[in-house]
Amino acid sequence: MKGNYSILAVTALFCAALLTVWGCQDDDSAIVKRNWQLVWEDNFDGPAGQSPDAANWTFDIGVGPGNDGWGNAELQYYTDRPENVSLDGDGNLAIISRRESYSGRPFTSARIKTQGIFEQAYGRFEARIKMPWGPGIWPAFWLLGANIEEVPWPQCGEIDIMEYRGQEPNLIHGSVHGPGYSGGAAVTKSFGFTNDRFDVDFHLFAIEWGPGYIDYFVDDTLYQRITPDDVSGEWVYDHPFFIILNVAVGGNYVGFPTDQTNFPQTMLVDWVRVFRETN
């Protein structure tokens, strides 16, 4: 759906009975009603092979500022080629990781972002995504502090709405990284299916974020709330952040691809939407 519209988001803090959920809320009784106004979206409509809309997205290119795999020992070279990131013609964005020698790296993929184009503090950020699968594949939908050029990571803050390890297709992870709790010490919880996988169909990943809290959702299930009491250092989530979508290959978080990992690997994104609370 195009254009601005309002939705009434009714969020019940409960753990879905049909799912196995790690990190459920302790308070099952609270119900939060918020009025959301759509302020930004991309539905990825267009012909197959078309690059994502330059009015919405720009690219990270290469292997990271330190030539170190973006600080995570990742193996891919990020490009802006349609072979790695383009519309599929069916209303989705495809981010495609390929096994190929490119600029000294054994894999290619893509990482797109709204840096310098769109940023926002607080609100609901959501994306409907179908995952790839395979050991060593690392897709993510996340936010980075818009002040990163002046305030280095992790002081700028990072909100991982969804991270996924390709060798664990029934699990996703939601995290925050800040000063004193970054990398392996991030504040994180996981959400898992017992009889389903994230690479079989699309699922909606979202946060609802306001002063002093970040709530994490998969589809209609809230599975964790992070507040200043949960972090061991400074709370750095009261300023604008921009959006990133990427698929990494290898790295400290997922390890190397194996013989089980077929290429190309594709993450499909149906839409990305951002809302602001109108109350």
> Which residues are catalytically annotated?
158, 163
Backbone region of residue 195 per phi and psi (left: phi > 0; alpha: psi in -120 to 50; beta: other values): alpha
H helices, E strands: number in the chain: 0, 19
Alpha-carbon gap, residue 83 to 48, rounded angstroms: 11
Please, are residues 83 and 138 in contact by the beta-carbon 8 Å criterion? no
Please, are residues 61 and 80 in contact by the beta-carbon 8 Å criterion? yes
Check the CA dihedral 111-116-121-125 and report its sign: negative
- CB hemisphere CA count around 94 (13 angstroms): 21
Alpha-carbon gap, residue 33 to 13, rounded angstroms: 11
Give, in order, the Cα–Cα distances in Å from 125 to each of 82, 95, 120, 212, 267: 26, 19, 10, 16, 18
